[in-house]
Structure 1
Amino acid sequence: MVAHPGIEEKFVDEDEFMQLGSDALVEIVDGEIVEMHPAGGVHHFIGGNVHDPMKVFATKHQLGFVFMDGLLFHLFREGKRLKGARVPDVSFIRRDRIPKDWDIEKPFPGAPTLAVEVMSPDDDSEDVLKKVREYLAAGTEEVWVIYPKQREVHQFLHDNKHITTYTDGDDVIVSTALAGFSMALREIFALPSFE
């Protein structure tokens, strides 16, 4: 985050924020609490398609932990003052990045190793790109942005200035943050039939 001289930065007090409760669908953006909107079925099916094999892989190889939509990450803070906190749709935290004193009843004190965002019809592209930039600035190594309507995945890497775009079909996305993990896009976009 960039500080601008003469402009007072906004923060949210951590204790006040925690009083909102774990049921609150909120993030902290530029020091302000922003309400998140519930997502539809496509969003959750696709998130599950990524989460489930990622969790099996990470667990089998004892690489770390994979979380489904809901874990809040404190990305930017000064003591108990929060400037940025985000909730990815799917996230992976490598084992060596987890503080030994992390109280798992509370948000994660840092950035995920890998964050996955599934675009919903009401998501604004600029807001999602801002979220990607925040993840990477906070230390996230890799971000996937999944576009269900276009059937594309954009992969952003922390140490790389370009975006890799994968399109539906036989393309396979290979993770660098979760070493050895890959997924075919047809698996990501598979939706159930209700007939």
Structure 2
Amino acid sequence: MVTTPTISTAIEEEDFDASALPLDRYDEVPEGMEEVDGELVEKTGMTIEHGTTQTNLASEWKYYVRSSNQGGKAMTEVVCQTEKQKRRPDVAYLSAELIEQFGQPSVFPQSFPLIGEVASPKDSAEELFAKAREYLASGCQEVWLLFPENAIVIIITSEKSLIFTEAETVNTQTVLQGFSIPVAELFA
């Protein structure tokens, strides 16, 4: 009997460096990461307040999608391809028409039509506004920037930017027509 030796190519978990993966060879971006400027970058800085706001927005969009019969899906932390990189928005809405057109790939081939980004203490306003512009240039129609520490929502579309404070009710501008919610409830 002849035996052939096997060579193990296993990599110890502590030796694995996800940022060294060539991104163009992979359809998926590892959980909790985004591709930024060709590098895998871990999303960090999320707090309980951040997570609560993310959950509140996703839940409200999901409930509205069902109750209004507009179809589609509200999701959290799913990957989309912008013109520049692969992003993982905090909250996203995908219309029924786009699901029919593209299916449900592991990386959606464009920005989602409606995106919510929740500011964490480590996020700079400049970075969030740049990310909103990137989404809008890649098929997104409306971006919500939520600032839990100040109870402010900024909505950005290609035509306008609006600011809503804690005492106001925020409403969608172009996607999920008819959706509105008191800002205070988003941050409750």
What's the TM-score bracket when you normalise by the shorter of the two chains? 0.7 to 0.9
After superposition, the CA RMSD in angstroms is 1.8
Max Rg structure: 2
Is residue 81–residue 108 contact of structure 2 (8 Å, CA) maintained in 1? yes
SS in 2 for 1:98: helix
Structure-to-structure mapping, 1:103-122, within 5 angstroms: 103-104=104-105, 106-122=106-122
- TM-score normalised per structure 1: 0.77
Q: Does 1:35 align with 2:42?
A: yes
Q: Give the helix-richer structure, 1 or 2.
A: 2
Q: Distance in 1 between matches of 2:23 and 2:121?
A: 32
Which runs of 5 or more residues in structure 1 are unaligned? 1-11, 77-82, 191-195
Which string of whole-angstrom CA distances, capped at 9 and with x for unpartnered residues, describes residues 82-101 of structure 1?
x4111111110111123545
How far apart are residue 38 of structure 1 and its match?
5.1
Aligned-partner Cα distance in 1 for 2:24–2:88: 16
Pick the aligned partner of 2:65 from 44, 58, 65: 58
- Matched pairs, number: 165
Greater strand share, structure number? 1
Runs of 4+ in structure 1 off by over 4 angstroms are none
Read off the aligned partner of 1:42 and give its amino acid letter.
Answer: E
Letter in 2 for 1:87: R
1:17 positional shift: 6.1
- In structure 1, what is the Cα distance between the partners aligned to 2:102 and 2:112? 17
CA contact (8 A) 1:175 1:182 kept: yes
**1:102/1:109 contact within 8 Å kept:** no
Give CA deviations for 1:109-151 in whole Å, capped at 9, x if unaligned. Answer: 2111100011011112211111101001001000010111111
Contact 2:116 2:145 in 1 (8 A): yes
Q: Distance in 2 between matches of 1:99 and 1:15?
A: 26
CA 1:17–1:107: 2 relative to 1, 3 Å? closer
Aligned to 1:28, what secondary structure does the other structure show?
A: strand
Correspondence for 1:129: 129
CA gap 1:175/1:100 in 2 versus in 1, 3 angstroms: same
CA distance in 1, matches of 2:70, 2:172: 16
CA distance in 2, matches of 1:157, 1:101: 23
Give the letter for the 1:152 counterpart: I
* 1:133 partner amino acid: R
- The runs of 5 or more residues in structure 2 that have no matched partner are 1-21
Percent sequence identity over aligned pairs: 28
Which residue does 1:152 correspond to in 2? 152
Partner SS state of residue 127, structure 2: helix
